[in-house]
Amino acid sequence: MKIIGIQPQKIENINIVTRGTIGEPLGLAKILAIAQSKGHEIMYIPYINSIDDLLSDVEAFLPDIVLFSIMTSQYYLGEEIAKKIKHIFPDTIIIAGGYHPSSNIKLSGPFDFFVKGEGEIPFEQLLTYFQNADNRTQLNEIPGISYYDENNTYISNPPERILDIDNYPLPIRNSTIFQQKYYGLIYPHYTDQSGFAYIEYSRGCVNSCSFCCKEAMYKGSKIVFRDPINVVAEIKSLIEKNVNLLFFTDLNFTVNHQKVFDLCNEIIKNNIKISWFCMSNVNTADDIELLKTMADAGCVKMMYGVESVSNGIINDTKKDNNNLHRIMTQTASSGILCQIFYMIGFPWEKDSDVYNAIPQIIQIPAHQIRIGIATPLPGSVWFNDMKQEGLCNVDWSLYDTENFVWKENKFSDINSLVKDICRQFYTTNLYSERLDKFLYLHPKYTESFNCFFNSLVELEILEKNEFKINNLKNRRTYEK
Ligand code: B12
Ligand code: SF4
């Protein structure tokens, strides 16, 4: 069969305040690899330049099946393209997977199937089903799929967790997507990146924060890890493709310390020289030996979900930020950059609440702050609550954490507020001193900060490159 995989993301300007890159759709790349390994002809469209060009490519390819990988904010674009494809090829089967179809959104429009949760098992079984299309009863045995049966009854089978991620082929890798850069604060900085790729070590998370939609994808608290030997083999193959920066997609990289040691030791044993970064929850990273081993294995940055400094919000979102300052300081002293994710614009907040929190925010010992607008993502407990209370808009294009989804907007100008917090964060003496010390101990990051601060000037967050002015000129010495 001929199978096309599309991620409906447009290449737009990257705003480093909210996200550092466009992205490699690793999930779709893994699903397509399964199709390819079974001898199907595939076409991979990881991002969209123009819908017309995309439709010409689709028409020339004559697909039997078109796959979409969709986050909530990408739903409308995906639906628009799928409608056009269905119009040209009414018999083509259109399947959507990813986070949006996995939340409890009902299948509709041009899509024939939604795949909920991890896609490997249902996709493999769907392929088998389409190849033996005489036996329709099989569909109700395929985990995680939603569809309408011959009687137009809506069927939605519960998803199944995958226990052996390594059992599937490595993702399709696209050389154009490797050429994209990560524009946030990172080492190597964007001008020195020869290739940037995503990779996964684990799936799932033990926590269940009420604002998080991971439950829709990875039901329960089980975490499934890959074998470090396979991860290292994949890293080696990416290095051969000129990749020198990796992002681990794991939801909470440091949740199991032994597993982190196992992977890092495997990387070190194989003498692999590559930079990588990951996401973590501060309370799972409280181990200086672990952080040092991660740094030795190439970890250059950790991104911690802090979300808010307001205790009311933390309690409501089930986050625990005790020890934040100590663990972030340990991370930096291990030679790892620290970024925090922060959210403003909760429906119970207004300008003054956020302004009142600024003195606390600017004390957090991070190197980079990413501020998103609080968004209840479908699949989270929070979304269900907010929807029930009639507080949020369901225009999915707004669900990108750069827009307000609330029906009532209590903020005068939230984008200016975001810029204002960032400006204050990067211009305190505290920040400058912290940076000075960090760079004295870890000078390899100097150009990373310089590039990053240039981007902050371009985004009009800073008037001038304060880093160049303060940190490069007035160096002090510190105890190593
Ligand atoms: C890497 C990443 C990004 C990358 C790019 C991702 C990309 N292009 O796909 C970047 C940094 C650009 C990014 C941006 C955003 N992201 Co993001 N991101 C992730 C992250 C960390 C990893 C995704 C990943 O690769 N996972 C590993 C792969 C193997 O899993 P997967 O993608 O889920 O794929 C599996 C299944 O979903 C399914 N599947 C996926 N596609 C398909 C297709 C078919 C046909 C089938 C059958 C199955 C299938 O099978 C796959 C294998 O099991 C996730 C969190 C997480 N760890 O899951 C958040 C996450 C997906 N992002 C999220 C959000 C909100 C965003 C942003 C909107 C906000 C922001 N400012 O970051 C933007 C929007 C970008 C845009 N273009 O519109 C949310 C999505 C929630 C939602 N309901 O949409 C997540 C879940 C984070 C969270 N917990 O809130 N993101
Ligand atoms: S927010 Fe992070 S720690 Fe909380 S459930 Fe989601 S992935 Fe886990």
User: What is the distance between the alpha carbons of residues 139 and 184, in angstroms, rounded to a whole number?
Assistant: 44
Residue 28 CA to ligand 2 centre (angstroms) = 22
Asked if residue 97 has its Cβ within 6 Å of ligand 1, the reply is yes
Element (H, E) at 35: helix 26-37
Residue with the smallest CA separation from ligand 1 atom 53 is 118
Cα 204 to ligand 2 centre (Å): 9
Q: Give the Cα-Cα-Cα angle 172, 178, 183 (nearest 5 degrees).
A: 140
* Helices assigned H by DSSP within 103-255: 120-131, 175-178, 214-217, 228-240
Nearest atom in ligand 2 to the alpha carbon of residue 281 is: 3
- End-to-end alpha carbon distance in the chain: 61
Structure tokens at 157: 């089978």
10 Å CB burial of residue 298 (0-12, 13-18, 19+) is buried
Q: Which of 53, 32, 51 is nearest to 43 (CA)?
A: 32
| Predicted local distance difference test score (pLDDT) of residue 314 | 47
C-alpha 412 – ligand 1 centre gap (Å): 31
Class (C level, CATH) for 181-474? alpha beta
pLDDT at 131: 86
Tell me the CB-side half-sphere exposure of residue 55, using CA atoms within 13 A.
14
Residue identifier of the C-alpha nearest atom 7 of ligand 2? 251
- Cβ atoms < 10 Å from Cβ of 407: 11
The residue ranges of every structural domain in the chain are 2-156, 181-474
CA gap 475, 378 in Å, rounded: 48
Strands in 113-115's sheet, in edge-to-edge order, are: 41-45, 2-6, 65-69, 93-97, 113-115, 145-148, 154-156
Q: Ligand 1: does its nearest atom lie under 6 Å from the Cβ of 378?
A: yes
> What backbone phi and psi angles, to 5 degrees, belong to 304?
-105, 135
How many CA atoms, within 13 angstroms, populate the side-chain half-sphere of residue 316? 16
> Quick one: how far is CA 433 from the chain centroid?
31
Number of the ligand 1 atom closest to the C-alpha atom of 123: 47
Q: Is the CB of 334 under 6 A from ligand 2?
A: no
Ligand nearest to the CA of 23: 1
Q: Peptide bond preceding 169: is omega within 30 degrees of 0, i.e. cis?
A: no
> Residue 318 CA: which ligand 2 atom is closest?
4
Determine the pLDDT at residue 318. Answer: 45
Query: Ligand 2 in contact with 252 (CB < 6 A)?
Result: yes
115 CB under 6 A from ligand 1? yes
User: What is the best residue among 99, 226, 384 to mutate for testing ligand 1's pocket, by most ligand atoms within 8 Å of CB?
Assistant: 99
> How many Å lie between the centroid of ligand 1 and the Cα of residue 152?
31
Backbone dihedral region for residue 414 (phi beyond 0: left; psi -120 to 50: alpha; all else: beta): alpha
User: Could you list the mean pLDDT of each consecutive 10-residue stretch along the chain, which spans 480 residues?
Assistant: 94 62 90 97 93 96 97 96 97 97 92 98 94 72 95 95 96 86 92 94 91 91 97 97 96 97 98 97 93 98 84 49 86 97 90 91 94 93 91 91 89 91 93 91 93 90 74 57
Any atom of ligand 2 within 6 Å of the Cβ of 284: no
Alpha-carbon distances, residue 51 vs 11, 57, 240, 456 (angstroms):
12, 10, 33, 32
CATH class of 2-156: alpha beta
Return the ligand number nearest the Cα of 207: 2
Q: Which of 105, 92, 4 is nearest to 48 (CA)?
A: 4
Structure tokens at 411: 């903020």
This model's pTM is above 0.85: yes
Return phi, psi of residue 416, to 5°: -70, -35
Which amino acid is present at 203?
Answer: R
- CA of 210 from ligand 2 middle (Å) equals 9
